Amino acid sequence: MLESTHESIISTENLKASLNKSCDSATVNRWSVDEIVALFELPFSDLMHQAQTVHRANFDPNAVQVSTLLSIKTGGCSEDCGYCPQAARYHTDVEAEPLMKLDDVLAAAQEAKNNGASRFCMGAAWRGPKQRDLEPVLKMIAEVKAMGLETCATLGMLKDGQAEQLKEAGLDYYNHNLDTAPEFYGDVITTRTYQDRLETLDRVRSVDINVCCGGIIGMGESRNQRAGLLAQLANMERPPESVPINLLTQVEGTPLHGTDELDPIEFVRTIAAARITMPQSFVRLSAGRQSMHEGIQALCFIAGANSIFYGEKLLTTGNPEAETDKKLFAKLGINKI
């Protein structure tokens, strides 16, 4: 009894500290990796209580933003990301396809809108767009935006001038993930550096496009490294507006296939730590939902996740059916935004 009172006093102190940190958006190094590890190590109920409190101070706790993804250019990618079924060098079931036609993209966007998505995210399996690739994508962005949807694109690394063109076309969000902690990164990807990723994120920020940046967990990283990823994100001069937390979807033929499965409670803890360290960001429960029990998804929403990918496909792998998500939202009293 005494011990549990003591725990809750510690937890209240931590909570005050995290609420104070959240007010100071100009500072970098808001969170040390050790402080984030300490969040992970809290008793589960204390962690959830802190995360809910931070969540409620910043968001409607019953509203979840929904984005629909479309792979506009699938497979055949030159990079070696160890998790990715679209890398040309791995033997997976994904076949390389050319860039989709504008009308097909618009038809998919219309369907997403009819199903209640507020944002449409277009993904391309490129190291980065060549100028001749970017032009048709700019047209897609402008037309999807004209349909009244928010636009998001994930096209790889951006070169000089490309972020400006995306902004001009009406792009609202650019997704580019750090994927993991700097110390683990080289175990997963060798064809582009952490610094390359940070530079693309700077280009996106510099033209005032919203940043969507997160990572993947369950790749064999340690808890320290999960905390290290969150520290990188939370300590950005402006933390990302949107933080996708993906659970590795293991695909046969990729180097990370066969990695030990992450404990689902550790996944929930990661969502909670993301919520506490990035109080004003949308935290997206991203890849991995198809294999996740609805009870774990519910815990993720309590832990502060307030965005999902909606629609039966992510890029190349499956996602829960829209009907299944509608039922889950109804059961939990969640409203889509």
- For residue 125, the minimal CB distance to ligand SF4 (Å) is 4
Closer residue to ligand SAM in complex, CB, 92/110 = 92
DSSP class of residue 87?
B
DSSP class of residue 224?
H
Answer for which of 18, 151, 162, 177 binds ligand DTB (CB under 6 A) is 177
Q: How many residues bind ligand DTB (CB under 6 A)?
A: 16
x/- map, 140-159, ligand SF4, by CB under 6 A:
----------------x---
What CA–CA distance (Å, rounded) separates 63 from 48? 18
Contacting ligand DTB within 118-137 (CB under 6 A) = 123
**What pairs with residue 69 in β-bridges?**
121
In this structure, what are the phi and psi dihedrals at residue 145, rounded to the nearest 5 degrees? Answer: -60, -40
316 binds, among ligand SF4, ligand SAM, ligand DTB, none (CB under 5 to 8 A by kind): ligand DTB
207 in Cβ contact with 164 (< 8 Å): yes
Answer for which of 18, 74, 151, 154 binds ligand SAM (CB under 6 A) is 154
- For residue 227, the minimal CB distance to ligand DTB (Å) is 19
The region of 35-43, 49-57, 201-209, 241-249 touching ligand SAM under the rule CB under 6 A is 241-249
Answer for which of 36, 51, 64, 81 binds ligand SF4 (CB under 6 A) is 81
Within the chain, what is the greatest distance between any pair of CA atoms? 67
Tokens 């497979």, residue? 75
Count CB neighbours of 18 within 10 A. Answer: 21
Q: Which amino acid is at 204?
A: V
Residue 67 CA: distances (Å) to CA of 159, 197, 219, 307:
26, 23, 24, 8
Catalytic residue check, 23: no
Pairing of strands 215-217, 242-247: parallel
252 in Cβ contact with 92 (< 8 Å): yes
The region of 47-55, 144-152, 248-256, 294-302 touching ligand SAM under the rule CB under 6 A is 248-256
The span from the first CA to the last CA of the chain, in angstroms, equals 42
Contacting ligand SF4 within 35-74 (CB under 6 A) = none
Catalytic residue check, 81: yes
Active-site choice (197, 269, 284, 289): 284
Answer for which of 175, 225, 281, 306 binds ligand DTB (CB under 6 A) is 175
How many helices and strands in the chain, by DSSP H and E? 12, 10
Contacting ligand DTB within 201-230 (CB under 6 A) = 214
Catalytic residue check, 213: no
215 in Cβ contact with 180 (< 8 Å): yes
Q: How many residues bind ligand SAM (CB under 6 A)?
A: 17
For residue 288, which of 317, 324, 327 has the smallest C-alpha distance?
317
179 binds, among ligand SAM, ligand SF4, ligand DTB, none (CB under 5 to 8 A by kind): ligand SAM
Active-site choice (192, 197, 203, 212): 212
Pairing of strands 210-212, 215-217: unpaired
93 in Cβ contact with 123 (< 8 Å): no
Interface contacts to ligand SAM, rule CB under 6 A: 83-84, 123, 125-126, 154, 156, 176-177, 179, 216, 246, 248-249, 251, 287, 315
Interface contacts to ligand DTB, rule CB under 6 A: 69, 85, 123, 154, 175, 177, 214, 244, 246, 249, 286-287, 314-317
Interface contacts to ligand SF4, rule CB under 6 A: 77, 79, 81, 84, 86-87, 125, 127, 156
Q: Active-site positions?
A: 77, 81, 84, 121, 152, 212, 284
